[in-house]
């Protein structure tokens, strides 16, 4: 799946308005990036560099762990008290060896920052979060070439794309039912991994559908992961745990 490491699809699930700030408390990372896309609800981020913010429907947090960071991701205060539906995706994107120790960073990308492009024949809309689409450029800065496209397809809509040969490409159907290159319908929470030798993608939505397309140039380097760290060797993992214990990652 290189350059992608992990995909977590959370929800949709309804939470009570009881004031409890649920989520993932303080924890470290090194060597990759986390991308959080919110469809419903609100998520609040805070990290050891002093960055943070609240993202709601249509917004994205793109965090570069790089050389090391502590962060937490919880329901926002407002969402905790109001309650409601939460639906989100978190993606881990690997960093090339040359950038694994880059300084940590944070990109808070609002819905207004992301172009929304109407697809041909009014098949739906596409939002490029990262990478280009037609004459539009996704706002996310990346360390290797990737496309992260958020699509909403209308029932009966058909659309086609060409992507670079040799790239990893996967489509995740979050809602609805979509035929991909004449496949049987891929339904809710289904994922399709395409051949790297194929560049053309044809989508036919049998229902109104929410689809996430992930495509990227593979990083042909060793991957050694241990819990919150993804590096290129075991010795680098041991170094990360040593530096974590010595306080090099800082604190919230």
Q: What is the pLDDT of residues 45-97, one digit of tens each?
A: 999 999 999 999 999 999 999 999 999 999 999 999 999 999 999 999 999 99
Arithmetic mean of pLDDT, 134-140: 97
Write down the pLDDT at residue 182: 87
Write down the pLDDT at residue 104: 96
Does position 234 have pLDDT exceeding 90, yes or no?
Answer: yes
Write down the pLDDT at residue 56: 97
Write down the pLDDT at residue 199: 85
The sign of the CA dihedral 137, 140, 142, 146 is: negative
Does position 251 have pLDDT exceeding 90, yes or no?
Answer: no
Write down the pLDDT at residue 175: 97
Selected residue with higher pLDDT from 146 and 12: 146
Write down the pLDDT at residue 250: 87
pTM beyond 0.85: the answer is yes
**Which of 33, 97, 94, 133 shows the shortest CA–CA distance to 218?**
94
Distances (CA, A) of 201 to 148, 149, 171: 15, 13, 10
- Confidence at 198, pLDDT banded by 50, 70, 90: confident
Does position 186 have pLDDT exceeding 90, yes or no?
Answer: yes
Q: Which H or E element spans position 80? A: helix 77-82
Measured in Å, how far apart are the chain's first and last C-alpha atoms?
A: 32
- Confidence at 11, pLDDT banded by 50, 70, 90: confident
Distance CA 168, CA 196 (A): 6
Query: What's the whole-number average pLDDT of the chain?
Result: 96
Arithmetic mean of pLDDT, 22-27: 93
Write down the pLDDT at residue 3: 98
Write down the pLDDT at residue 164: 93
Q: Which two tokens stand for residue 127?
A: 């939002």
Q: What is the pLDDT of residues 123-136, one digit of tens each?
A: 999 999 999 999 99
Write down the pLDDT at residue 170: 96
Size (the chain), residues:
252
- Confidence at 241, pLDDT banded by 50, 70, 90: very high
| Percent of the chain at pLDDT exceeding 70 | 100
Q: What is the pLDDT of residues 148-170, one digit of tens each?
A: 999 999 999 999 999 999 999 99
């Amino acid at each position: 799946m290189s350059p992608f490491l992990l995909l977590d699809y959370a929800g949709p699930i309804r939470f009570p308005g009881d004031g409890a700030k649920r989520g993932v408390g303080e924890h470290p990372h090194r060597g990759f990036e986390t991308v959080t896309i919110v469809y419903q609800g609100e998520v609040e981020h805070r990290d050891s560099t002093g960055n943070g913010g609240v993202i709601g429907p249509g917004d994205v947090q793109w965090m570069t762990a790089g050389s090391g960071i502590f962060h937490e991701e919880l329901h926002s205060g407002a969402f905790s008290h109001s309650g409601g539906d939460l639906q989100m995706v978190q993606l881990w994107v690997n960093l090339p060896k040359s950038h694994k120790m880059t300084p940590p960073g944070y990109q808070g990308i609002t819905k207004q920052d992301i172009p929304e492009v109407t697809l041909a024949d009014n098949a739906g809309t596409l939002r490029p979060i990262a990478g280009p689409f037609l004459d539009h450029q996704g706002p996310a800065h990346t360390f290797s070439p990737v496309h992260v496209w958020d699509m909403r397809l209308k029932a009966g809509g058909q659309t086609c794309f060409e992507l670079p040969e040799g790239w990893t490409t996967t489509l995740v159907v979050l809602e609805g039912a979509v035929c991909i290159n004449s496949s049987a319908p891929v339904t809710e929470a289904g994922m399709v991994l395409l051949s790297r030798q194929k560049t053309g993608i044809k989508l036919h939505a049998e229902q109104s559908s929410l689809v996430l397309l992930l495509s990227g140039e593979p990083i042909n380097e060793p991957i050694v992961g241990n819990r919150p760290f993804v590096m290129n060797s075991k010795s680098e993992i041991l170094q990360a745990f040593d530096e974590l214990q010595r306080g090099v990652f800082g604190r919230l």
